[in-house]
Amino acid sequence: MVGTGIQMRIFVVFSLLQGLMANRFVNRDMVGASHDVICPISQAKPNFNIDLFMGHWYILEYQYPREMKLTDLSCLSFDFNAAGEDIVGNFSFRYPPRFGHYYHIPTVSNVIANGQEGLWMTSFKGVSLLSGIVDTDYENWAVFVQCVNESGENKFMSTRVLSRTRDLSPQDWLTVREAIQV
């Protein structure tokens, strides 16, 4: 019984830290930021294994260069699949979020550099995006960043926290926050 009480206190502390860290990140890095933030992607996760990354991912959090309100992320997801040399990312969402229809938008990406399988060029409706897997443990979480190419420069568009399930453990949230801060 003593172990259970200690585990509960640790869980509460991790939960509080998760909330504080999320609030700190949003306030410092998103509020007042412009759309002209330079793309933070210089390289993907070292030794990224694209085969382990493929499959279904829920989107737990979006982060933009400026604060934007999102009411419900529970219906957002990606399905990544290899199709020859391409990576097809099927972005799914429901609109309206609680009672609407599901929509699926496929995107096609290509690995841009040998040895950097986590860096992709994604074309979507005439727009070129640099997509990068900053970090992942493959089984639970991933940090996915996209930048848009404007006039030859990559500008930060968004960071997404991905998960294989609809929630992450407090320990995984701490690891995700560390990956985002790098």
- At 36-68, the pLDDT tens digits run 788 888 778 989 999 999 999 999 988 877 655
Longest dimension (CA), the chain: 62
Cβ–Cβ under 8 Å, residues 104 and 95: no
Asked if residues 111 and 50 have their Cβ atoms less than 8 Å apart, the reply is yes
In tens, the pLDDT along 113-127 reads: 766 889 999 887 888
CA distance 40 to 159: 10
For residue 145, pLDDT over 90 is answered with yes
Catalogue all structural domains in the chain, each as residue range(s) with its CATH number: 35-167 (2.40.128.20)
Q: Which residue has the higher pLDDT, 92 or 36?
A: 92
What's this model's pTM, rounded to 2 decimal places? 0.73
CB atoms within 10 A of CB 57: 23
Angstrom distances, CA of residue 81 to CA of 22, 142, 158: 30, 16, 21
Average pLDDT, integer, range 145-149: 90
| pLDDT above 70 for 35 | no
φ, ψ of residue 91 in degrees (nearest 5): -85, 125
pLDDT band (50, 70, 90) for residue 73 = low
pLDDT at position 93: 83
Instruction: Give the pLDDT of residue 66.
Output: 63
Residue 64 belongs to what H/E stretch? none
Q: Which residue has the higher pLDDT, 19 or 151?
A: 151
pLDDT at position 177 is 93
Mean pLDDT of the chain, nearest integer:
76
How many whole angstroms separate alpha carbon 182 and alpha carbon 177? 9
CB–CB of 41/119 below 8 Å?
Answer: yes
Residue 75 has pLDDT above 60, yes or no: yes
Q: In the structure encoding, which two tokens stand for residue 63, read together?
A: 């982060």
> What's the gap between Cα 62 and its chain centre?
7
